[in-house]
């Protein structure tokens, strides 16, 4: 049993993720889609997929704010963030099943080390200056990734649902963004 603690930027909201084996039960991925850029304010979003039942808010539940919207693809996207600092906590699409996608940066330092990225989504939408995670700066990750540039969706050992990207850079199927 490995508890992975985290929380929002201002610290009002705290959570714990409890997994038997983070290596097999959690999957961290980088996503270059337009949704992730807008919501996180960065070049990409980075989330850790876990079973919903593994996630528990331990403090500040009353500060959790929810935003739900169709991103233009007909699929509802659910995001949770802090009502005080605005920091993101988690997201999931209507097709995510029993999984949620916790924003990786909200995990505490020692917890992030247990769930390092395994792949990337929407590589075509990577900003030109942004290296892939197989770059020499991330040797530990690159070691088990195939060439990321050849595919839109890259994960080892998993079938990624095919999907398209809308003209605005948003995924056609939200489920395929993070699933
Ligand atoms: Zn906060
Ligand atoms: Zn995305």
Q: What is the mean pLDDT of the chain?
A: 78
d(CA 71, CA 19): 31
Kindly indicate the confidence band of residue 132, based on its pLDDT and cuts at 50, 70 and 90.
confident
The pLDDT of residue 113 is above 80? yes
- How large a percentage of the chain has pLDDT more than 90? 49
Q: What's the gap in Å between 95 CA and the centre of ligand 2?
A: 14
Averaged pLDDT, 130-135: 68
Question: What phi and psi, each to the nearest 5 degrees, are found at residue 152?
Answer: -80, -35
Name which of 25-29, 56-60, 169-173 the model is least confident about.
Answer: 169-173
Q: What's the gap in Å between 35 CA and the centre of ligand 2?
A: 5
Q: What's the gap in Å between 2 CA and the centre of ligand 2?
A: 27
Neighbours of ion ligand 1 (CB under 5 A): 8, 10, 12, 82, 84-85
Nearby residues of 27 by Cβ (< 8 Å), 6 or more positions away: 48, 49, 115, 118, 119, 155
Q: What's the gap in Å between 82 CA and the centre of ligand 1?
A: 5
Kindly indicate the confidence band of residue 134, based on its pLDDT and cuts at 50, 70 and 90.
low
Chain segment 92-111, per-residue pLDDT in tens:
988 888 999 999 999 999 99
Tokens of 85: 């600092």
Domains and CATH numbers, the chain: 2-178 (2.170.150.70)
Q: What's the gap in Å between 31 CA and the centre of ligand 2?
A: 4
Handedness of CA 101, 51, 108, 12 (dihedral sign): positive
Averaged pLDDT, 129-154: 46
Averaged pLDDT, 119-130: 86
Q: What's the gap in Å between 43 CA and the centre of ligand 1?
A: 22
Q: What's the gap in Å between 137 CA and the centre of ligand 2?
A: 22
Chain segment 44-93, per-residue pLDDT in tens:
999 999 999 999 999 999 999 999 988 777 788 899 999 999 999 999 98
Residue 157: the pLDDT is: 36
Residue 1: the pLDDT is: 66
Residue 92: the pLDDT is: 92
Residue 162: the pLDDT is: 40
């Amino acid at each position: 049993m490995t508890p992975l603690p985290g929380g929002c930027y201002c610290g009002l909201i705290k959570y714990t993720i409890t997994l038997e084996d983070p290596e097999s039960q959690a999957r961290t991925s980088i996503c270059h889609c337009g949704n992730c850029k807008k919501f996180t304010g960065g070049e990409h979003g980075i989330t850790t997929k876990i079973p919903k039942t593994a996630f528990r808010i331990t403090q500040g539940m009353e500060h959790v704010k929810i935003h739900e919207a169709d991103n233009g693809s007909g699929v509802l996207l659910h995001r949770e963030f802090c009502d005080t600092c605005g920091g993101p906590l988690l997201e999931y699409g209507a097709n995510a099943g029993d999984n949620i996608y916790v924003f990786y940066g909200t995990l505490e330092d020692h917890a992030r080390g247990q769930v390092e990225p395994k792949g990337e989504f929407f590589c075509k939408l990577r900003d030109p200056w942004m290296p892939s995670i197989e770059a020499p700066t991330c040797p530990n990750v690159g070691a088990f990734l195939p060439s990321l540039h050849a595919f839109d969706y890259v994960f080892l050992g998993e079938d990624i649902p095919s999907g398209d990207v809308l003209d605005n850079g948003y995924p056609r199927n939200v489920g395929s963004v993070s699933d």
